[in-house]
Amino acid sequence: MRRPFIILAVAALLLGATTFVAQAAGRPPAAGAAAAASADTYAWKNVRIDGGGFVPGLVFNRTEKNLIYARTDIGGAYRWNQAGQNWVPLLDWVGQDDWGYNGVLSIATDPVAPDRVYAAVGMYTNGWDPNNGAILRSTDRGATWQITRLPFKNGGNMPGRGMGERLAVDPHDNSHVFFAAEGGNGLWRSTDHGVTWAKVTAFPNAGNYVQDPDDTNGYLSQNQGLTWVTFDDVTRDVYVGVADKANPVYRSTDGGVTWSRIAGQPTGYLAHKGVLDSVNHHLYVATSDTGGPYDGGKGQVARYDTVTGEWTDVSPVKLSAGDELYFGYSGLTVDRQRPGTLVAATQISWWPDAILFRSTDSGATWKRIWDWAGYPSRSKRYTMDISANPWLDFNTDPQPPEATPKLGWMNESVEIDPLDSDRMLYGTGATVYGTTQLTNWDGDTTFTIRPMAKGLEETAVLDLASPPSGAPLVSALGDIGGFHHADLDAVPPAFHDAPSLGSNTGLDFAELNPAVFVRVGNADAAPHIGVSSDGGRNWYAGQEPAGVTGGGSVAVSADANAVVWAPAGADVHYSTTRGGSWTRSTGLPAGAKVESDRVDPKTFYGYASGRFYVSTDGGATFAASAAAMPSTGRVNFHAVPGRAGDVWLAGGTGLLHSTDAGATFAAVAGVGSGVNVAFGKAAPGAAYPAVFLVGTAGGVAGVFRSDDGGSSWVRINDDAHRYGNAGDALAGDPRVYGRVYLGTNGRGILYADRLGGTSTPSPSPSTSSPSPSPSSSTPAPATGCAATYRVTGSWQGGFQGEVTVRNSGTAATRTWAVGWNFTAGQTLSQVWSATGGQTGTAVSVRDAGWNGAVAPNATATFGFIASWTGGNPVPAPITCAATS
């Protein structure tokens, strides 16, 4: 779910199980990028959470099965991968300069030429996004894109973003594409497959609905404009929704040349969706009294007979029901395999749950997905299986009639597969849900709904911590708080709770006592702080100073005996009782960013308004440094583990380094600007920790690593994988050389490993029972070994894959080996987290030693790069053998 606090904090925030290879060395440097840093080849993956944000749009191609797109409000666009049952990100190439392109207002897939897809992008229509919007077009299903910039802004994260789709391809002439714009910008059309666009001057109404005309920041005061475009598959009729409660629907009968308001239409509400049953000649319109997505208290579902011109109110719950109608309608879909069958969803029904309605007689009658069975009991036609994403219970155990998990909220996009009546997907404020048993509804047989969000990572990451022991990563996230990530490739069972702090804005651990963590957040009321003594797995609520309204920034001393907190709504305070009591700090302005020295427990650092501050008495008093600091823009700083007084600060003027606890700073040569800096395990043979930078080095913007204290840098991402507005959350791994964790504002958490292989994680695996050498006699095989192969990324002539080895037996393995045959000419070129290679068509791979031990029901994963020419089918079978 994307709440307004994230919208308002764009300058302070950043930007699914999908892996990509960053190999910048093989790409030409950006124009004018002289003396660019060298590059290292990395594999990047999402730390799995699955979902975590609002999915306002799901779009099926009508002619090709399994071609599905999803759009998000701040996290880009995705395409469904049926083989892996996961989503593939399509806009990771968006960089810092055009970060707003990760707000996707609409998507259209071409029903005539399925390789073509279009996206209307841009995040805000007010000043938060400095750029105008754009229409992106692709002829390879989103693998690559071309850009047409618009003369106005788009609002992928503005009110009304769930209405649509605003983009549509004319099925009668697919060179014609229409775009229904917001902001009073009217209707636009392209006649050359999206290359150029012109305003349709004949369209008579640009919309007039404004949620709050008195909103001074421009977020709620924009005209929500036009809301959707729908083509009739049989005639040349085109329908357009307008955010005008008196004139919500217009029609053209000549392919968009002339337009008129449809007579007799229902008024008083906004038309969120307009879908057409071309067989029965019915246009269905779902309306609500607001543009959503967070609200909506009344509305209708109306049916228009496109032949007779008759309108009929077919609402599942009608306005005449009075208080029984406490929601508007938005999600709306027709079954194209079974004309006359449709599903409608409540726009917002927070309590006790969302409601979906199904009709098989063109809206004459409806069945609810759940019914009252004597209050507070409910009877349900469905079951929820969230075992893949267990955190979707939101750590709740409500009393009836509420239940957990919920069907969702903000159900703006509900879509029946146009080629499969049994499959339905729908987006919520937190995930994508789906079923493949939808027609069970008609026979009153229970059907199962499951999350379908693997690979779709849409969290806003506010802070990251990778301690030297315990879980490799602990996170602070917008909306869903954050997680204790014991396994980077597995969805955690629950997000931070007890206390639940809402959006967690910061966290820290004691460097010399890393079991102690503190996190802070923007809960609506106290508490705003939580403390952990077991490495961030479990938490208890701390006390807080008077006046605190939000999380702000927090730091823990190296020995865990002091905490400094700069909360929202109050002055900076320090505690020597781990949050049990607080004393006001002096000398450091409210709202400062705070960090601790990672060696000296008495030293803390702060930054505020272009000044750097230092405390040497545990946070009681701070003094301003005379060192020059950047005064505007994004500024982040961290202290180096194991080195007292060693501090690095990244900002718009570059990268600064202090070795005297902030008394003086020296500019790091070659770094033109910085967003953030972090530290990880030193390179083999190196004395200084690896330094990671999000910024510009050698004239090139990217993510960089230095193994020599900043004297030289290597770029570890590439221009195809920039993640938009990323980097305000950054952490190096102290146990794995080369590994870095990157936070984004909408694409979740990414972690990157060198493709040359990772060093063995510390502490090293036990050597008390070494594995037998290859010449030893073969032990009895372990029972149950299976391997799953999937393609995780591809480019012209090459691809990256991943194989997961699962031990389904009862005894732990000591070694494992996997094999397959490439039958289409693919050639293996690189393997990591395993050893082996290819002979002829046969590929044979075995564990890397350190990952040969796999517990029952556990998995090990290795990756590879290969080339391909004519095709790239998934090989079968994939053999797996293991020893125990």
What's the CA gap between 727 and 655, in Å, rounded? 14
Look at the alpha carbons of 567, 573, 576, 581 in this order and tell me if their dihedral is positive or negative: negative
Tell me, rounded to whole angstroms, the distance of Cα 881 from its chain centroid. 36
| One-letter-per-residue 3-state SS of 660-712 | CCCCCCEECCCEEEEEEEEEECCCCCCCCCEEEEEEEECCEEEEEEECCCCCC
Structure tokens at 760: 């063995």
Catalytic site includes residue 479: yes
Give phi and psi for 514, each to the nearest 5: -70, 0
Q: Measured between alpha carbons, how far is residue 192 from residues 142, 175, 254, 856 in Å?
A: 18, 5, 18, 57
Contact call for residues 1 and 479 (beta carbons, < 8 A): yes
Backbone angles phi, psi at 390, to 5 degrees: -65, -20
Give alpha helix (H) positions in 703-755.
none
> How far is the C-alpha of 732 from the C-alpha of 743, rounded, in Å?
12
Q: How far apart are CA 220 and CA 836, in angstroms?
A: 58
Q: How many CB atoms lie within 10 A of CB 688?
A: 18
Written as six digits, the tokens of 747 are 């694409």
Burial profile 20-34: b = 16 or more Cβ within 10 angstroms, e = fewer: bbbbbeeeebeeeee
Q: Which residues contact 262 (CB under 8 A, 6 or more apart)?
A: 249, 250, 251, 304, 309
**Residue 513 CB partners (closer than 8 Å, separation 6+):** 558, 559, 560
Residue 26, helix vs strand vs coil: helix
Cα(137)–Cα(146) distance, integer angstroms = 5
Q: How far apart are the first and last CA of the chain?
A: 45
Where in 360-412 does DSSP place strands (E)? 367-368, 370-372, 378-380, 382-384
Number of other CB atoms surrounding residue 267 within 10 Å:
12
Angstrom CA distances, 342 to 283, 318, 337, 771, 791, stand at 12, 17, 11, 60, 35
- Tokens read off for 825: 């000419």
Which residue is catalytic, options 129, 170, 417, 479?
479
Annotated active-site residue 420? The verdict is: no
Distance CA 674, CA 695 (A): 4
CA–CA dist 663, 441 (Å, integer): 70
Strand partners, 273: 286
The residues with which 148 forms a beta bridge, in sequence order, are 135
Taking CA atoms, 277 is separated from 66, 286, 329, 332, 770, in Å, by: 21, 14, 18, 12, 67
Cα gap 60→107, rounded to integer Å: 10
> Hey, how many other C-beta atoms are within 10 angstroms of the C-beta on 149?
12
Whether residue 288 contacts residue 272, with contact meaning beta carbons closer than 8 Å, is answered with: yes
**Non-local CB neighbours of 734 within 8 Å, separated by 6+ positions:** 466, 467, 468, 641, 679, 680, 681, 689
Of the listed 40, 50, 73, 98, which one is catalytic?
Answer: 73
Among 34, 96, 67, smallest CA distance to 742 is for: 96
Report helix, strand or coil for 790.
strand
Q: What is the spatial distance between Cα 832 and Cα 815, in angstroms, rounded to a whole number?
A: 16
What residues act catalytically?
A: 73, 479
